A and B are shown apart, each in its own frame.
Chain A
Amino acid sequence: MKRIFETTLALAAMALAASTAHAADITGAGSSFVEPIMSRWSADYNKITGDRVNYQPNGSGAGIAAIKAGTVDFGASDQPLGSAELAAAGLAQFPVVIGGILPVVNIAGVAPGALHFSGALLADVLMGRITKWNDPAIVKLNRGVKLPDAAITVVHRADGSGTTFNLTHYLAQVSPAWKAGPGEGKTVNWPAASIGGKQNAGVAQAVKQTANSIGYVEYAYVVENKMTYALVSNADGRFVMPNAASFGAAAARAPWDRASDFNLVMTNAPGPKAWPITATTFVLVYKHPQAEKAASSAAAMKFFRWALAKGTAQAAALNYVALPPALVGRVNSYVTANIK
C-alpha cells in the first residue's frame, strides 16, 4: 500500500514537472469544421518547436464568444465577422483552410455522383417545395437515373453549425424562394417532416438509415465514409466533381480583394471548374493583445504562419484544401499590417 502511494506520488511529481518543462501553451476554440486539420497541424508543429497549440471544437459561436471574452488565444469561426464588429472587439480575422460541402442521398440504385441538382432545385428540395423523387423537375436534370416514386425525407443539422450557414448562404444566393423562406444562418427553419442529426456524424447516420433521404455533410465525411453524394451545378452552369481541384478553383476565383478583413463567404464562386458550395474557416485573434496574453498570442500567430506556409500536405491528406498561394500572400500582408 505504501509502495503504491509512493509510486503514485512519484508519477504525479514527474507529471507536474513534465507539464512545466515546455514552450508556449496556446489555447484556441471554435468551429468543429477545422478540428481535424488543427489537431494535425498542432501535433506536427509541436514536434518541430515544442509549442503546444490546444484547439477544442466547441462551435463557432462559442469560439467567437471565447475570444471576445479573452478566455482563449484565438477563435475559429465558419462565419466571418463584419469589419465593424471586429473593430469594436479589437480583433483581426483571416481564413486558414478550405473545405467543401456536399449533398448526400440514400436512394436505391443511385450511385455516387450520379444525381444532378441545380442550385435552385436543391433549394426547392431542401425547403420541402418538391416532395417526391420522381418530380418532373428532378427527372429533367437526371434523364439517365431511375428515380423512385417516393417521398423525400430531408435531413439537416440539428445543432447550430457553420456548415449549415455556408450551405444556406449558397441557397439564398441561388434561390429567391429560399432567401425569402428559411434564409441563411447557422440554424434555419426546415420543413416540418425533416429530421435533425447531431453533427456530421448524426446527419450521415440518419441519411444512411432512412431510405429516400437527402442531407448535407462535409467533404471529408463523404470520402471517409464512402457516402453517395450528388453533384450541384456551379455559377457557370457546369457540373464538376467535388475534390481538391474544384474547391481550390473556387478559392482562387473568389473576390478576396473586395473583402475587407476577409469578410467573404465564397459559396457560388465564379469559374467553370469551381465547386459551388465551398467554405472556409476564419481565425480570430487580437490585434493588440493585453500584456499577459501577448506572448501566447504572438506564439499563436507564429503557428498560423507556419501552417499556411508549410501545412499544405497535411490539409490535402485530411481532405481539406490549403489556401492558394495568392491568398496566403494576402493573409501574410494583412497579418503584418494589423497584428502587433
Chain B
Amino acid sequence: MDATALPVPRPVAAHAESPLPARRLSDGGGDRVFAGITRTAAWGVFLLLIGIAGSMFWGGRQAFQTFGLHFLISDAWDVGRDQYGALIPIFGTLASSAIAMLIAVPTSFGIAVFLAEVAPRWVRSPIAIAVELLAAVPSIVYGMWGLFFFAPVMSARVEPWLIAHVGPLPILGPLFQGAPIGIGMLTAGIILAIMIIPFISSVMRDVFQAIPPALRESAFALGATPWEVVRRVTLPHTRSAVVGAVFLGLGRALGETMAVTFVIGNSFNFSKSLLAPGNSIASAIANEFAEAEGLHRSALIAIGFLLFVVTFIVLAIAKLMLARLSRTEGRAA
C-alpha cells in the first residue's frame, strides 16, 4: 500500500457545535516524507550487507584467485606452506549450529508454551526476565565458563557416559567416539544452544502472548485442551513470527565467535565424532586473524565471505521449505 496513493481528505465543513480542525493538505506530504524515511532506512540495511559482503569478498580475492573453486572442498590448512581450504571451518560452523538448533528450538518452544499456558500469572514476568538474562551474559563469559567449568564436567561425566552407552549403537554410534577431552564440537554446540535460547524464546513468548484473546478463548470454549490450543490456534497464527525467532537464533549460532573459540578445540582435522575438536569459521578467524599476513589473512577473510554464502544457502533452503509447507496448507506465506 503506497502512501502516496491514499486520497488526501478535503477539509471537512465544520459543524456548528463541535468544529473539527481543518485537515491540511500537507498531511499528504507528511506521509511521503515518512514513507521516504522508512524506505531509506530499509535500503540502508540492504546496502550495509552489500558493503560488508563486498569488502569481505575484496579482502579474500587473493585466496580465491590462488585456490579457485578447490578452496571450497579442500580440507588443508597449512600456514607454513600457505595452503588453505574452507571445508573444515564450514563443516564446523554447520555442525555446531545444527547441534545448537536441535537443542535450542524445542527448549525455547517449551519455555514459550510454559509461559503462555502453564505458568501462573505472577510467575510469568520473573521467569521471562530470567530467560532473557541468558542473553545478557557476555559471549566471552560463556567461553570462560564453558572452558573452566562446563568442559571439565563434560569430560568427567557426560562424555564417558555417551561413549559407553551411545557409542556402540549402530547409526548414532560413530558420532560419539574418541577420548573424552571435554572440549569439542558437542560442547560448543551445547553452549551455543544455551546462548541462543533467550533469543528464540523471548520472541516466541512475546508473540504467543500477543494473540487476540478472542481466538484462544473461543478454542477453549469449544473444549480444547491447552496443548491443543497451542498446536491448533497459537502456532498457526504466529507461524511467521515463530519462524522469524528461529532465524534470529540460527543467525546468532552461525556467527558466534568468542564462546565457540574457547571450547571447540581449534583443530583443523576432520572427524566424524562430535566429541572431537573441530573449528568453525568465526573461531578460525578470531584465533588466527590478529597474527595473519598475506595469503593467510586473505584466506581468513575469504572464509568469512563464505559464511555469508553458507548463511544465504541455509536460509534459502529454509524459506523454500516453509513456502512449500504453507502452500500445502492453503495459506499465503
Asked whether A187 lies within 8 Å of B267 as measured between CB atoms, the reply is no
Instruction: Say yes or no: is A194 at the interface (Cβ < 8 Å to chain B).
Output: yes
From B269, B291, B293, B296, give the contact of A161 (CB < 8 A).
Answer: B291
Instruction: Say yes or no: is B236 at the interface (Cβ < 8 Å to chain A).
Output: no
Which of B64-72, B98-106, B145-153, B201-209 binds A? B145-153
**What chain A residues lie within 8 Å of B265 (beta carbons)?**
158, 195-196
**In the complex, A62→B291 CA distance in Å?**
6
B158 to chain A, nearest CB (A): 14
A72 to chain B, nearest CB (A): 14
Contact digits for A182-205, partner B, Cβ 8 Å, 1 yes 0 no: 111111110011111110001001
**What chain A residues lie within 8 Å of B261 (beta carbons)?**
158, 198
Q: Known: A185-B80, A202-B147, A205-B147. Is A195-B291 also a contact (CB below 8 A)?
A: no
A131 to chain B, nearest CB (A): 13
**In the complex, A126→B262 CA distance in Å?**
22
Asked whether B147 lies within 8 Å of A187 as measured between CB atoms, the reply is no
Asked whether B290 lies within 8 Å of A62 as measured between CB atoms, the reply is yes
**What chain A residues lie within 8 Å of B289 (beta carbons)?**
61-62, 160
**In the complex, A214→B77 CA distance in Å?**
23
Asked whether B183 lies within 8 Å of A206 as measured between CB atoms, the reply is yes
From A153, A159, A192, A193, give the contact of B288 (CB < 8 A).
Answer: A159
Instruction: Say yes or no: is A59 at the interface (Cβ < 8 Å to chain B).
Output: yes
**What chain B residues lie within 8 Å of A194 (beta carbons)?**
267
From B80, B181, B266, give the contact of A183 (CB < 8 A).
Answer: B80
**In the complex, A162→B290 CA distance in Å?**
11
Closest B residue to A77 by beta carbon equals B291
Asked whether A198 lies within 8 Å of B287 as measured between CB atoms, the reply is yes
**What chain B residues lie within 8 Å of A153 (beta carbons)?**
179, 181
Asked whether A61 lies within 8 Å of B290 as measured between CB atoms, the reply is yes
Q: Known: A187-B79, A189-B80, A209-B152. Is A159-B267 also a contact (CB below 8 A)?
A: no
**What chain B residues lie within 8 Å of A196 (beta carbons)?**
265-267, 277, 287
**What chain B residues lie within 8 Å of A205 (beta carbons)?**
147-148
User: Which of under 10, 10 to 19, 20 to 34, or 35 or more describes the interface residues of B?
Assistant: 20 to 34
Closest B residue to A210 by beta carbon equals B181
From B179, B286, B291, B296, give the contact of A60 (CB < 8 A).
Answer: B291
From A158, A183, A188, A193, give the contact of B287 (CB < 8 A).
Answer: A158
**In the complex, A100→B269 CA distance in Å?**
30
Asked whether B277 lies within 8 Å of A187 as measured between CB atoms, the reply is no
**What chain B residues lie within 8 Å of A61 (beta carbons)?**
289-293
A213 to chain B, nearest CB (A): 9
Q: Known: A198-B261, A198-B262. Is A160-B288 also a contact (CB below 8 A)?
A: yes
**What chain B residues lie within 8 Å of A8 (beta carbons)?**
none
Instruction: Say yes or no: is B27 at the interface (Cβ < 8 Å to chain A).
Output: no
Could you tell me which residues of chain A, from 197 to 233, have a CB within 8 Å of some CB in chain B? 197-198, 202, 205-206, 209-210
Q: Known: A195-B265, A195-B277, A198-B262. Is A209-B291 also a contact (CB below 8 A)?
A: no
**In the complex, A72→B147 CA distance in Å?**
33
**What chain A residues lie within 8 Å of B80 (beta carbons)?**
182-185, 188-189
**What chain A residues lie within 8 Å of B182 (beta carbons)?**
209-210
Contact digits for B142-182, partner A, Cβ 8 Å, 1 yes 0 no: 01000110011001000000000000000000000001011
**In the complex, A159→B279 CA distance in Å?**
12
The 4 tightest CB contacts between A and B, nearest first, are A160-B291, A59-B290, A196-B266, A158-B266
A interface residues (Cβ-Cβ under 8 A, vs B): 58-62, 153, 158-162, 182-189, 192-198, 202, 205-206, 209-210
List 5 extra interface pairs beyond A158-B287, A187-B296, CB under 8 A: A160-B290, A161-B291, A198-B143, A198-B287, A209-B155
Q: Offer 19 A-B interface pairs, CB within 8 angstroms, sorted by A.
A: A59-B291, A60-B290, A61-B292, A61-B293, A160-B287, A160-B290, A185-B80, A187-B291, A188-B79, A189-B80, A195-B183, A195-B277, A198-B147, A198-B261, A198-B266, A202-B147, A202-B262, A205-B147, A210-B182
